[in-house]
Structure 1
Amino acid sequence: MSAILRLESLSKQFVKDDLGIVALRDFTLEIEEAGFVTVLGRSGCGKSTMLNLLAGLIPPSSGTVTYRGEPIVRPRPEIGYLTQSDTLMPWRDVRRNIEMPMEIKGVPAPRRRERAAELIERVGLWGFERHYPRELSGGMRRRVSLARMLVGDPETLLLDEPFGALDAQLRTDLQAELLRLWEGSGQTVVFVTHDIEEALLLGDRVVVLGRLGRVVLDRKIDIPRPRAADEMRVDPGFVALHREMTAALAEGARS
């Protein structure tokens, strides 16, 4: 597989109260097309900054960020981004929230409704299309956000700890839903998390970051799919990988 995303010699510094705060320093990473990469790291290691750079929301201080060889200088329709926070429009119901990216692009109303209905069914929200965000549970709002990201058929999906605020069972359900939607799609996924088990259950490659985005470990995950959490927890290979990731996180925190 060829690399679809490249971050080369990347540094990002923010200014706060006349002080420079370094989020990433000399960071290099390649993401291959159609892969599912989980980026694992503790708070403050630059994971969200990396995604914001890949999404074209902020410019690098130095270095380059490219998509299929072209510099990323603004958000691109080929790249969908699901952030940690809930960004649904409270005055729009489920269907109209999902339709919004197509509405911005000028897609005709009949096609918008048709495509939104397809996604509503795929993410398990049939019957809730006229509900407003305040009437939905946290898990259902995440499903709406996921559908809204997918409605434009992006080639690449960026997800920033999308299920971190949910309870364990909902998180497991939505992890399975995401994998179901991804498998066979040909889409590239970059999934950021601080949870080792989530990283191993989802990714076919795990990149562990330390401070300032230092790559501590870049590991291919060969565990066959589907991966059931209850079964994996007692699998010797999974246990060994979990220990390796734990050690890598500890090393990243020290350095």
Structure 2
Amino acid sequence: MTGTVLEIEGLTKEFQRDDVATVALRDFNLSIERGTFVTILGRSGCGKSTMLNLLSGLSKPTAGQVLHNGERHTRPTPEIGYLTQSDTLMPWRTVRRNVEMPLEVSGLRDKQKRREVAEDLIKRVGLQGFEDSYPRELSGGMRRRASLARMLAYGADTVLMDEPFGALDAQLRHELQGELMRLYQDDSDQRTVIFVTHDIDEALLLGDRVVVLGPLGRILLDTEVDIPRPRDIDTTTVSDRFIELHRQLADALKEGAA
């Protein structure tokens, strides 16, 4: 299935405090095609997280609108999943019960079916054997995997990810990037991913397309990543095309800083 899944038109967000308005995003426009992996690259403070909060429906714009599958999107919906920077697992639930939660909320009453779906997702993110563990018993990377599995349980066709691996060490980050690439390739015909990062390597390694943002969400560069999939981290990052694209993105970020 092809076509535009997200249409962002004139999006502006102002925060009001003590009669002073602070603009976080101004007149932002972007179209995202179904089944693509789009990475949003930018320095801190350029409006990346604000944009994701607006796309998720958690925040309302001061001006402009978001269309999801052609319909105006104004509030959170199961069709759009959101993996934030912070850990939101419920500490009193095991990994399995955390992943089952969206299925319970959606009204799936069959306990055996919930268990089967949850265990399949847990296996897909590499947490098999930890189904009965609590979040406090898991490492940071394992909690990220559990959070990813829970988000996938919603069955969302559009997935928003806000620097989900930013707080992890380099080795673990690479491992989870590999897992995410594998999961996306398995579902790329039906799932769209918008992934926010400030890391150029990560943006290029994961994305089909990279959008570089400057202050207030100004688009500095919007380019296709014409590197074939599947991508091996070790070989892709030293290829001539990767290095060439890396230079272009670095130059765009410098332009934004200037």
The TM-score normalised by the length of structure 2 is 0.96
Displacement after TM superposition at 1:182 (Å): 1.1
Distance 1:79 1:157 in 2: 6
1:117 is the counterpart of 2:119: yes
Displacement after TM superposition at 1:76 (Å): 1.1
Code of the aligned partner of 2:30: L
Displacement after TM superposition at 1:40 (Å): 0.2
Alignment correspondent of 1:139: 141
Displacement after TM superposition at 1:114 (Å): 1.4
Displacement after TM superposition at 1:184 (Å): 3.6
Please list every run of 5 or more consecutive structure 2 residues that lacks an aligned counterpart in the other structure: none
Displacement after TM superposition at 1:103 (Å): 1.3
Superimposed CA distance per residue, residues 154-180 of structure 1 (whole angstroms, 9 cap, x where no aligned partner): 101100000111111111111111111
The 8 Å contact of residues 205 and 237 in structure 2, kept in 1 or not, is answered as no
Superposed structure 1 runs of 4+ greater than 3 Å apart:
none
Alignment correspondent of 1:178: 180
Q: Which residue, 153, 158, 161 being the options, matches 2:160?
A: 158
Alignment correspondent of 1:56: 57
Superimposed CA distance per residue, residues 174-224 of structure 1 (whole angstroms, 9 cap, x where no aligned partner): 111111111141200000000000000000100000000000000001011
Please list every run of 5 or more consecutive structure 1 residues that lacks an aligned counterpart in the other structure: none
Mapping 1:18-29, distance limit 5 Å: 18-29=19-30
Alignment correspondent of 2:101: 100
Alignment correspondent of 1:127: 129
Distance 2:144 2:169 in 1: 12
Alignment correspondent of 1:201: 205
1:68 is the counterpart of 2:72: no
Displacement after TM superposition at 1:27 (Å): 0.5
CA RMSD of aligned residues (A): 1.0
The 8 Å contact of residues 178 and 233 in structure 2, kept in 1 or not, is answered as no
Distance 2:184 2:127 in 1: 18
Code of the aligned partner of 2:66: V
Distance 2:145 2:166 in 1: 14
Q: Secondary structure at the match of 1:145?
A: helix
Alignment correspondent of 2:36: 35
Displacement after TM superposition at 1:137 (Å): 0.3
